[in-house]
Chain A
């Protein structure tokens, strides 16, 4: 007989007969195993009740339980949440043409299936490298692929979103140069501007604007160049910018910044990088962007994935976790978190950032998607985006009273000027079930008659037709 087989226990001896008969009282919660055996644990500890373990909580600060509803069964909770979610109109039914940081893309289902494997999704930050090689290698590969796309040497393991990546970039420019002015486009989305402000204001860093060409919608490089001086820590340019316009003159701006010893921070659209020159080739020192919608669904704006890339020479000053390759004690390739001496748990108030929990699962998801797309898929994705946006652009021009707002080249987002105010169009058309775009007046009040409209590969000809019809109605 096999000695390793454990003795068989008769199931009846393990069953709680009293509870089955409705006489005993089982604990209410189905997620808390030891609730059923409190006395056994209390006996070992040597106290009489669980309350004894809270004896040091002074009476004056004690609360009497929680004034909250009783717990529901899974079925009831699911039914309730479904009833609330039915009050949403998903973009599948209610087409949305707001883009900005979150432009909707298609993520093939295999990506979610992979990252929802319990080994990824229920695991912790890779503090024990030897049993977290899956996470470490997957993030190392994400860093590698993102670096290839950006043509920069280092990408961190993730930031919360593009706007906080911008805030961190602002602080890094300050650390690197010791200077206290950031030069940013006047045409920066107000949400990003507000976030940047809170990241840098405590250090006495000023945020100064440079303008744009009202005809092309592109950054006014001459204005920016004039404003760069010995106190400039960094210059931000987004390509494409908040109006959707592609910025042809990033290299000139980079040179102007570098001539005065400032860093160039460049925003990018990840989906464009199979078609558009990457930040590393345009002179960027830091590249910031958002990878959310090539990894996860829109999700109402969270969780998001902030991407942060830079040159190797800045690696020791950059924020965020980094995974590195090394070897194990047997000499085999292995991975671990590295440069942790920049991080809060070691360096405390001298850390390069306070970030701890980040967006690792999204980074792994994006890595898996990029691996499937490959170089040709990235090109096709960018082509599909450019096609959809240009198709819609031409359609609006032909079929509605909305006219191109700028002459500059664009990728998957563009600005149009219309017969009604952008906010009005947003409210009226939006309430009717088609969110038509982002009111450009929020970026610059002089553009209150304009909308920034985005179209990506997710939009069908029918979605375009619905937008055209809806805009005609408010004209």
Chain B
């Protein structure tokens, strides 16, 4: 069940290129048609772009070989904390690839895309129930984009009450995802970070001290990034609302609580959720994703245009005059949301609740087996994820979280999220999801337990069995080889002298 990737080296496309080859036949234009004559002289491209010249089988082989250097979820567990790497149902692939889904234009006449509008509309209804919110917008293209919309809505709400100018601050705990402060700053808010208490949860006194008439909102993830449920959520909610602030829910950890509690039941005014986490959209090596935003009634008028409304059996676009306008060009990631609806239909309400239950059960099981060999700072009861500290191993054996992560690759696993949240030393943030069978959980735990006892020199030299040895990211950031035009810089770099070269595979 462990996954080992080949040590193949794949040349760059430009290194494989041979003049005079082509990989695609483009539809021909009639003889005598000269497009260049239609383009003003000043705008005619004179130098060809230096793209590679390859036939289609060569391109396919290039990318297939590249793919073999990647660790994917279908091959093994990806226990990244806060990332919810759960199984991606293949039905979603099938339906999103159908011509009636794939080949529609967002500005095609609405009568021509009734199916798409209905799929968006029904998707919203499902998400409203899961989130416990009054309305949902499917515009955001990712979680951080959902945060961006959420804070823009909060700004619009305060402005509508004549309080826009005075509410300038966003308060958040030091366990918050990096996107929270980054989004607040991007929207133009000042960020106030408060320290967590000894439990690893929000410090109520600290929160009270930070709140005031200048508070726009408080952003919270619940369970938080330590995997701990913020059990003082009612007190938090009252404190924030008492000063006229709003409460924002970061939905990255929604997979812990479906059916047990919801952003709505906890008193949040605005929330986002990540369809590429909780709702099983494949993560696509980094994206695309989707970040639907749910709101309570008083924020509905500000949602982005257009919204999709149902009139009789027709689905139509509707604009609100109080809307913040737009945060992306069209009306949402249709194919992404279609995948989301496929997942929701397959799971049903009961399946979603069971997902959360087993995700939490799996995490508790792993935690139980790992505590002792690794430290578990803060409160013990966690939800769908937990954060271990390798500080003991750093002290006693001189290996850090990064070494452990790299050594896990040798053991045939992907590594957890490391060095986050920032309040845990040598953090290893582990989230198994409900998709992993016990055997896989056990094998991963066994690997972590083994690493804690391995020769530190071996751990520090890891990975040895991955496609490449440990990558020098410090050099990369200093020298910036960002395209193949810059490769010469790489060749000038002195090679390490003391180490033996691994012979490239033939």
Contacts and interface: CB of A to CB of B under 8 A. Distances in A.
Contact of A121 (B284, B352, B383): B284
Interface in B452-506: 461, 463, 466-473, 475-477, 479-487, 490, 493, 495-496, 499-502, 504
Interface string A312-342: 1001000001111111111111111111110
A370 B480 contact: no
A230 to B, nearest CB: 22
A63 B283 contact: no
Interface in B25-77: 26-30, 33, 35-36, 38-40, 42-46, 48-54, 56, 59-60, 62-64, 66-75
B217 interface: no
B145 A160 contact: yes
Given A45-B368, A374-B54, A198 B91 contact: no
A355 B142 contact: yes
Contacts of A34: 358, 361-362, 434, 436-438
A246 B490 contact: no
Interface string B429-451: 00000111110000000000000
A135 B286 contact: yes
Contacts of B287: 125, 158, 303, 357-362
B381 interface: yes
Interface in B81-129: 83, 85-89, 91, 93-109, 111-116, 118-119, 122, 126, 129
B254 interface: no
B334 A300 contact: yes
B109 A110 contact: no
Contact of A124 (B91, B94, B283): B283
Contacts of B282: 121-122
Contacts of A400: none
Contacts of A44: 365, 368-369
Interface residues of A, number: 214
A206 interface: no
Identify the interface centre among B52, B145, B183: most chain A CB within 10 Å of its CB: B52
Interface in A98-128: 98, 100-102, 104, 106, 108, 110, 112-128
Interface stretch (A1-9, A18-26, A71-79): A71-79
B350 A131 contact: no
Contacts of A357: 142-144, 274, 276, 283, 286-289
Contacts of B436: 33-34
Interface in B382-425: 383, 405-406, 409, 414-415, 417, 420
A134 interface: yes
B108 A91 contact: yes
A131 B409 contact: yes
A361 B286 contact: yes
Interface string B363-389: 011001100000000000101000000
Contacts of A381: 26
A354 B183 contact: yes
A423 B87 CA distance: 45
B261 interface: yes
Contacts of A274: 45, 48-49
Contacts of B119: 81, 84-85
A226 interface: no
A377 B24 contact: yes
B59 A372 contact: yes
Interface string B7-29: 00110111000000111101111
Interface string A188-214: 010110110111011110000000000
B283 A122 contact: yes
Contacts of B316: none
Contact of B471 (A130, A349, A372): A130
Interface stretch (B206-214, B240-248, B293-301, B323-331): B323-331
A202 B231 contact: no
Contacts of B345: 71-72, 76-77, 80-81
Contacts of A335: 471
Contacts of B262: 63
Nearest to A130: B466
Given A45-B364, A130-B470, A336-B473, A89 B105 contact: no
A290 to B, nearest CB: 8
Contacts of B354: 27-29, 32, 35
Nearest to B230: A56
Contacts of B361: 34, 38, 41-42, 45, 50, 53
A187 B113 CA distance: 27
A173 interface: no
B472 A327 contact: yes
A197 B118 CA distance: 29
Contact of A246 (B40, B330, B466): B40
B260 interface: yes
Contacts of A76: 345
A67 B349 contact: yes
A157 B284 CA distance: 13
B67 A117 contact: yes
A14 interface: no
Contact of B104 (A86, A298, A358, A411): A298
A277 B45 contact: yes
Among A46, A349, A376, the most chain B Cβ lie within 10 Å of the Cβ of A349
A47 B4 CA distance: 36
B29 A326 contact: no
Nearest to A430: B109
Nearest to B125: A68
A58 interface: yes
B334 A118 contact: no
Contact of B26 (A119, A299, A315, A384): A384
B19 to A, nearest CB: 10
B229 interface: yes
B346 interface: yes
A364 B286 CA distance: 11
A82 to B, nearest CB: 7
Contacts of B251: none
A144 B63 contact: no
A356 B91 contact: no
Contacts of B364: 41, 45, 47, 53
Nearest to B277: A357
Contacts of B83: 124
B405 to A, nearest CB: 7
A35 B358 contact: yes
B141 A329 contact: no
Contact of B485 (A117, A153, A299, A371): A153
A74 B342 CA distance: 9
B200 to A, nearest CB: 12
B173 interface: no
B483 A147 contact: yes
A96 B364 CA distance: 53
Contacts of B56: 108, 110, 372
A198 B39 contact: no
B24 to A, nearest CB: 4
B211 to A, nearest CB: 18
A61 B21 contact: no
Interface in B305-330: 305, 324-330
A409 interface: yes
A138 interface: yes
Which among A58, A100, A163, A303 has the highest number of chain B CB atoms within 10 Å?
A303
A198 B54 contact: no
B260 A126 contact: no
A127 B85 CA distance: 14
Given A300-B105, A351-B178, 5 more contacts: A301-B333, A328-B471, A329-B471, A345-B178, A368-B59
- Top 4 A-B pairs ranked by shortest CB distance? A202-B188, A430-B109, A302-B333, A301-B106
21 contacts: A34-B361, A53-B381, A62-B260, A102-B106, A130-B469, A133-B467, A163-B329, A248-B42, A298-B103, A300-B104, A321-B286, A331-B499, A331-B501, A345-B420, A348-B181, A358-B287, A362-B287, A371-B54, A374-B51, A375-B49, A430-B109
